[in-house]
Structure 1
Amino acid sequence: MRSAMTVSDLLREGTRTLRESVSESPGLDAEILLREALGATREQLFDALPSPVRPAAAISYRKLLKQRVDGIPIAYITGRREFYGHEFIVNSHVLVPRPETEFLVEFALEWLKQKEEPCRVVDVGTGSGAIAISVALETASQHIMLASDVSPEALDVAARNAEALGAIVQFVEGSLIDWLEEPVDLILANLPYLRPDQAHDGIEHEPAVALYAGDDGFSLNRSLLEDAPNKLRAGGAVIMELDPEQRDLALSAAQANLPDAGIEILADLAGNDRYLRIQTN
């Protein structure tokens, strides 16, 4: 008589299945999806490893595995993504927040810490609202936090996240910073920065509007830098995320539009030229 399949057996099956797919972390993905299917925490999952698995749970799990094999990101399957210690709602209308983007939050917090008066801060291309909401939460909403996006669907996700996490953020449907009626002290931007030829299977399910920006991938950041002198207060700053290949493009555009500012390219934890920092006088 065949013994019943255990939770451990099912986890091994999931890992084998994902090892042959687009997943770069099959073991972790298999575990996350099994926790989702069982409605279990990590601790509960490991406690249950020797236990027989319910047939309905196995069926549910294999459906989730099929989505991952098809290339759908884990965050879209579960509907959640952790960013800067907070859990955000995500779906196919927004880019999945990446760990390297947390640096924009860290920069903003350090910069705002030096200010005695409340500042006006804008997160351009907010998507899920991860950057704006994290800054608002970490500063106890001491500053005026604005966040914009061209996608009403993305703004709906961002507004839901702000409500769920208790953050005070003003969301605006608008392109870049054209809509700003008053200047701001700090511009945060993680805009689309990929070229069309950089498309690959790992990102095919994420919204193209949140990924690509013209033939050189820099068109949106270039336009933002052109508008920045008219939208940034004296002593204000800009921090934006880049494709490391755009180092020279970023420096050239920044120097052309803000020639008297302090301009610097900063590396991410992997040593890649990932961020453009501008500090005006």
Structure 2
Amino acid sequence: MNISTWLKHATEHLKNAGITSAQLDAELLLANTLRKNRTYLHAHLDEEIDPRRVDIAEARLSLRLDRVPLAYILGKKEFYGREFDVSPSVLVPRPESEEMINMLLRLAPQDNQPRTLIDVGTGSGCLGITAALELSDNWHVVLSDISPKALSVAEKNAKKLGAKVFTQKQSLLLGQFEKLDCILANLPYVDKDWKNTSPELRHEPPEALYASEGGLKLIRELIQQAPKHMTNQGLLFIEADEEQHQTIVAFGNQNGFLRLETSGLIVALRFVGTKR
């Protein structure tokens, strides 16, 4: 079987499975299997594929047809222009989360004072590591997670990308002793009763996806815990469904936070120290 034939075969099967990125997924699966890039595939469509490589590509195609996220099959995912290792122990980084970094860079203090940022529920570490690499050196960046497996993935990514970060196992901010100038939080916010969720979600760690109380339980707990750990005018960035934003902002107001802005799935709050 040559490259062209396999790509057509795989694309057709992926389309029939309802995968909208069928052609791209087919190309990425085969390119990774052959250890080539997609440009190579297009330039060598008539090249025969080694039968052993065909078997590997077919096994990966079967996983994708079962709606296993492509990032888990390939073991990596791009985020903010960098490649992060991923495993089924962590959520797949989403492009929507990149807006949290954009907002952070717009709103974070630009002085040279020592500052501390924590990425709560860090998972792969994509948010905290990106923050560490994009912010100036005066920022002390901590990655925290309740999952040792997730922290292991995050530590591997930090080493791979050359990010100076510190990791700690903790639940939200329980046990936090450093004062925080900034909190990044992409916590579970999906309600199990929501309809029309992606089939890929069933392959991602449920403890990183789902929360009770309409998906807001952990977000509410974080907002309640945050005031005693934050510096005055500290920043809190939360990712959540857009329909949850109004509730989050109102709950933040009750706990000393004012809304700065919202963009996409991200809510930015500032701590003003006075409950409202």
TM-score bracket relative to the smaller structure: over 0.9
Aligned residues with identical type, % of pairs:
37
Match in the other structure for 2:203:
205
Q: Provide the secondary structure at the position in 1 that maps to 2:269.
A: strand
Q: Distance in 2 between matches of 1:84 and 1:51?
A: 34
Q: Which of 248, 268, 271 does residue 277 from structure 1 map onto?
A: 268
* Cα deviations by residue, 1:36-89 (Å, 9 ceiling, x for unpaired): 111111221211112222222222111110010111100000000000111001
* Cα deviations by residue, 1:196-254 (Å, 9 ceiling, x for unpaired): 11355221000001001113100000001111111110121111111112123212211
Q: Distance in 1 between matches of 2:235 and 2:54?
A: 52
Match in the other structure for 1:226:
224
Q: Which of 145, 148, 172 does residue 149 from structure 1 map onto?
A: 145
Q: Find out whether 1:255 has 2:253 as its counterpart.
A: yes
Match in the other structure for 1:64:
60
Match in the other structure for 2:35:
39
Residues 11-50 of structure 1 aligned to structure 2 (within 5 Å): 11-50=7-46
Q: Provide the secondary structure at the position in 1 that maps to 2:138.
A: coil
Following superposition, the deviation at residue 22 of structure 1 comes to 4.7
Q: Distance in 2 between matches of 1:59 and 1:212?
A: 36
Moved more, 235-244 or 89-98: 235-244
Aligned residue identity for 1:172:
Q
Following superposition, the deviation at residue 140 of structure 1 comes to 5.3
Aligned length: 270
Q: Distance in 2 between matches of 1:211 and 1:84?
A: 21
* Cα deviations by residue, 1:11-34 (Å, 9 ceiling, x for unpaired): 111100111225231111111001
Q: Distance in 2 between matches of 1:70 and 1:64?
A: 10
Q: Find out whether 1:245 has 2:236 as its counterpart.
A: no
* Cα deviations by residue, 1:85-136 (Å, 9 ceiling, x for unpaired): 1100100000000001011112222233523312100111100000010111
TM-score relative to the length of structure 1: 0.92
Q: Provide the secondary structure at the position in 2 that maps to 1:262.
A: strand
Match in the other structure for 1:271:
none
Unaligned runs of 5+ in 1: 269-273
Moved more, 197-206 or 237-246: 197-206
**RMSD of equivalent CA atoms:** 1.5
Following superposition, the deviation at residue 262 of structure 1 comes to 2.9
* Cα deviations by residue, 1:154-210 (Å, 9 ceiling, x for unpaired): 000000000111111111110111121121001111111000113552210000010
Aligned residue identity for 2:203:
H
| 8 Å contact kept, 2:113–2:138 | no
Q: Provide the secondary structure at the position in 1 that maps to 2:31.
A: helix
Q: Provide the secondary structure at the position in 1 that maps to 2:184.
A: strand
Q: Provide the secondary structure at the position in 2 that maps to 1:277.
A: strand
Unaligned runs of 5+ in 2: none
| 8 Å contact kept, 2:67–2:200 | yes
| 8 Å contact kept, 1:192–1:212 | yes
Aligned residue identity for 2:107:
W
Q: Distance in 1 between matches of 2:163 and 2:270?
A: 27
Match in the other structure for 2:174:
178
Moved more, 43-52 or 184-193: 43-52
Moved more, 13-22 or 28-37: 13-22
